[in-house]
Structure 1
Amino acid sequence: MRKAIPAFLLLSLLTAPSTLRAEGSVGRIEVLIDNMRSPNGVVGVALFNAKKGFPDKNALAYKGRSVPAGKRCEVIFENVPYGVYAVSVLHDENGNGKMDKGFLGIPKEGFGVSNNPEIKMGPPSFSDSRFDLKSEKLTLNIDMNYLRKPKNKNQQ
């Protein structure tokens, strides 16, 4: 019995550093955005670590980045602590810094979220979009959604 206690203590001491290392670990999140409608404007990407503010209150995001729009966009978040996150993306085609909405609040510009959940009534939830960062590198593929067709300038 006496030998079992020191063996248990030794085992817990040997495993403690790896547990501490995992808690303090950071990773890299690479966000690849496809199905862009046009190369106009900018693409804003927000990384959330809580449901509060997700998906459209960027001031409450853990981190945010923007890049020029293109056929395919890439945004990288470095040194992100391991944990639970969700990503939201906005294709701000006219560059006014906000999501333009039409009648009944339907988005006029493209958007997407991590996990590409089915778009239903209302914005996607944090729980449908969440993912676990628990490795040094994680790649997310996000498809843009456009609920409205762009106005054809030739038909005006």
Structure 2
Amino acid sequence: MKTLALILSLFISGIIANAQDTKGITLKVTIENVLSDEGQILAALHTQDTFMRGQGIQNFKLEAKTGSISFVFLNVKPGTYAISSLHDENENQRMDFHDSGMPKEKYAMSGNEMAMGPPNFKDVKFEVNDEDFELKLRF
């Protein structure tokens, strides 16, 4: 009986230890320079596979607020990621463009690289390790 109790306690301890190891970090994102209260702020955490292809692996939709707005991505595992965000002023859930191809709505990417043309993952990626951290983006 003592052997069975010992085996069960070791088994349960192993499950608890593994569950704690799978928890990721908390990534706080602050978007600065929101210029109006109109519409919504859409944001997504992407891997290379999801970047510029629709929904991210975690997504946010928040009411816009002039100034800055913050949100958190929870349990982010170590790896390489990018963040995209958009001030969707007309709430149509997508980026709107002028006839010239330039965006009508404000946007920001991790890395804050704003090169001409669509962003690429290589320019906006960042590494997640084992510590919580914060990113600041600017529209």
Scaled by the length of structure 1, the TM-score of the pair is 0.70
CA distance in 2, matches of 1:54, 1:122: 15
Match of 1:67 among 48, 62, 67: 62
Give 1:96-111 correspondences, 5 Å limit.
96-111=92-107
Of structures 1 and 2, the larger Rg is shown by 1
**Stretches of structure 2 lacking an aligned partner (at least 5 in a row):** 1-17
Deviation string 1:15-50 (CA, Å, 9 cap, x unpaired) is xxxxx99x8451011110001121111000110011
Give 1:7-156 correspondences, 5 Å limit.
24-50=22-48, 52-55=49-52, 57-59=53-55, 61-70=56-65, 71-117=67-113, 119-144=114-139
Secondary structure of the equivalent of 2:108? strand
What is the identity percentage for the equivalent residue pairs of Structure 1 and Structure 2?
32
Q: Structure 2: which amino acid aligns with 1:121? A: M
CA distance in 2, matches of 1:136, 1:130: 17
Determine which structure has the larger strand proportion and give its number: 2
Q: Structure 2: which amino acid aligns with 1:46? A: A
CA distance in 2, matches of 1:102, 1:30: 32
> 1:45–1:75: 8 Å Cα contact kept in structure 2?
no
CA distance in 2, matches of 1:120, 1:140: 19
For the aligned residue pairs, the C-alpha RMSD in angstroms reads 1.9
> 2:50–2:57: 8 Å Cα contact kept in structure 1?
no
Secondary structure of the equivalent of 2:123? helix
CA distance in 2, matches of 1:95, 1:24: 36
Q: Structure 2: which amino acid aligns with 1:68? A: E
Deviation >4 Å, runs of 4+: none
**Stretches of structure 1 lacking an aligned partner (at least 5 in a row):** 1-19, 145-156
Scaled by the length of structure 2, the TM-score of the pair is 0.78
